[in-house]
């Protein structure tokens, strides 16, 4: 029986949101600009359910604007390599997990960032699924670049897009927000799509939503196992369909410092500033399966780790890091989901920063 470990990258392994950071570094008022497009992404996925659109497609929406501001493949690669922020213990945790069972990274992030991080932590790039990007092959007219820069100013001034509770369609949105979404539709699916640079919106395919789920299936087929033998770790809206796919087939789904989308779909919630917790759950999953992990979590104490045959070096390191109180690890239920979601979102922001932690 081959058990498999699959993890998202940004969140469970690194503190970065690389696309957000590149946008903030390159575009004036880039933080506000990216945040609004990320929320537009949430609206298209959760409410509009736009055909052909998936969670994480923010990474293609920003590309015409990055091109307008002179971003190249090399600039993305250089910036990414110089600004990697690993979660504490992530390199050692991944190395340990990869030594006990096949391990894969499934990430929406651009390949320039993902490969730079894999080189940093010595993770095999052949076990990585991520967004392929060759920005240099796309041409942009000076008039288009000028117009796109004007759009940046317009978008950055739009009201904050918040999805109203229980919203089923755009008609459930306040007038100002509905108007903003409709204007964004015009910008992306009419005006930019008719530009020469609009080709990038059609050709770049971010690994999010169903593409993450497809990547999980590919990893299963490559290792000749099945979905019930997978431990999947994620933290955001881009992991929802992968969570559902694994959970529905009896695999184990874990939210690591996740947002409300992750807590809605995962079975176990981790809140930790160190990846050693992931390594411990992976060790128990490899030895005792999903049932063993659930049993450990129900009596989550240092004194119980030996009972579940947790690697002695992990036990020792956990006691060194947390001599008094362990990080939060809980089974998610209908009764505690809302409470855990609030706690996890707050913890997420404390680890990754308020701006990144608030993104979908």
Please report, in angstroms and rounded to a whole number, the separation of the first and last CA atoms in the chain. Answer: 35
Q: Using DSSP, state whether 104 is helix, strand or coil.
A: strand
Query: Average pLDDT, stretch 285-308?
Result: 96
pLDDT over 80 at 1, yes or no:
no
Q: Is the pLDDT of residue 199 over 70?
A: yes
Residue 359: the pLDDT is 75
How far apart CA 111 and CA 117 sit, in angstroms, is 10
Q: Percent of the chain beyond pLDDT 90?
A: 96
From CA 92, how far away is CA 66, in angstroms rounded? Answer: 34
- Quick one: pLDDT band at residue 353, thresholds 50, 70, 90? confident
pLDDT confidence band for 360 (50 / 70 / 90)? low
H or E segment at 15? none
Q: Name the pTM for this structure.
A: 0.94
18-80+133-203 has which CATH code?
1.10.3870.10
Mapped onto helix, strand or coil, the DSSP state of residue 60 is helix
Question: What is residue 4's predicted lDDT score, i.e. its pLDDT?
Answer: 97
pLDDT digits (tens, 9 = 90+) for 63-104: 999 999 999 999 999 999 999 999 999 999 999 999 999 999
Q: Which pLDDT belongs to residue 246?
A: 98
17 vs 359: CA distance, rounded Å = 9
Average confidence (pLDDT) over 307-330: 96
According to DSSP, the β-strands at 328-331 and 268-271 are antiparallel
CB atoms within 10 A of CB 201: 17
Q: DSSP state, 12?
A: T
pLDDT tens digits, one per residue of 238-276: 999 999 999 999 999 999 999 999 999 999 999 999 999
Assess whether pLDDT exceeds 70 at residue 357: no
pLDDT number for residue 358: 66
| Contact predicate 237/45, CB 8 Å | yes
pLDDT tens digits along 21-62: 999 999 999 999 999 999 999 999 999 999 999 999 999 999
Distance CA 21, CA 223 (A): 34
C-alpha angle with apex 64: 198 to 61, nearest 5 degrees? Answer: 85
d(CA 121, CA 118): 5
Where does the chain hold its CATH 3.40.50.1000 domain(s)?
A: 4-15+86-130+208-357
| 4-15+86-130+208-357 has CATH 3.30.365.10 classification | no
**How much is the pLDDT for 310?**
97
Please choose, from the candidates 330, 332, 304, the residue with its C-alpha nearest in 3D space to the C-alpha of residue 318: 304
Which pLDDT score is estimated for 343?
Answer: 96
b/e string for 70-79 if b means 16 or more Cβ within 10 A?
ebeeebbbeb
What is the average pLDDT score of the chain?
96
Mean pLDDT confidence for 293-309? 95
**For 159-245, where are the E strands, in sequence order?**
230-234
pLDDT confidence of 354, banded at 50, 70, 90? low
Q: What is the pLDDT of residues 113-166, one digit of tens each?
A: 999 999 999 999 999 999 999 999 999 999 999 999 999 999 999 999 999 998
Residue extent(s) of CATH 1.10.3870.10 domains in the chain: 18-80+133-203
């Amino acid at each position: 029986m081959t058990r498999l470990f699959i993890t998202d990258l940004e969140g469970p392994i690194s503190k970065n949101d690389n696309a957000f950071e590149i946008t903030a570094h390159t575009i004036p008022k880039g933080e506000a600009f990216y945040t609004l497009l990320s929320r537009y992404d949430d609206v298209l996925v959760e409410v509009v359910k736009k055909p052909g659109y998936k969670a994480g497609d923010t990474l293609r929406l920003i590309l015409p604007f990055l091109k307008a501001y002179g971003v190249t493949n090399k600039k993305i690669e250089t910036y990414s390599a110089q600004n990697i922020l690993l979660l504490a213990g992530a390199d050692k945790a991944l190395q340990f997990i990869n030594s006990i069972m096949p391990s894969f990274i499934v990430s929406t992030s651009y390949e320039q960032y993902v490969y730079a991080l894999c080189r940093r932590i010595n993770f095999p790039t052949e076990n990585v699924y991520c967004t392929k990007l060759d920005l240099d092959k796309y041409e942009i007219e000076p008039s288009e670049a000028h117009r796109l820069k004007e759009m940046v100013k317009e978008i950055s001034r739009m009201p904050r897009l918040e999805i109203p509770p229980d919203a089923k369609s755009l008609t459930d949105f306040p007038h100002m927000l509905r108007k903003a979404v409709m204007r964004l539709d015009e910008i992306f699916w009419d005006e930019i799509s008719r530009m020469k640079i609009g080709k990038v919106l059609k050709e770049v395919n971010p690994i999010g939503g169903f593409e993450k789920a497809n990547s999980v299936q590919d990893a299963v087929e490559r290792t000749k196992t099945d979905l019930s033998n997978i431990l999947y770790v994620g933290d955001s809206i881009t992991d929802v369909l992968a969570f559902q796919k694994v959970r529905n087939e009896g695999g184990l789904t874990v939210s690591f410092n996740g947002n409300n989308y992750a807590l809605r779909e995962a079975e176990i919630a981790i809140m930790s500033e160190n990846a050693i917790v992931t390594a411990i759950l992976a060790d128990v999953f490899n030895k005792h399966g999903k049932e063993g992990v659930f049993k450990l979590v129900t009596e989550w104490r240092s004194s119980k780790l030996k009972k579940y045959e947790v690697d002695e070096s992990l036990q020792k390191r956990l006691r060194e890091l947390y001599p008094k109180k362990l990080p939060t690890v809980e089974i998610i239920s209908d009764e505690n989901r809302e409470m855990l979601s609030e706690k996890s979102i707050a913890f997420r922001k404390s680890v990754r920063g308020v701006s990144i932690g608030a993104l979908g």
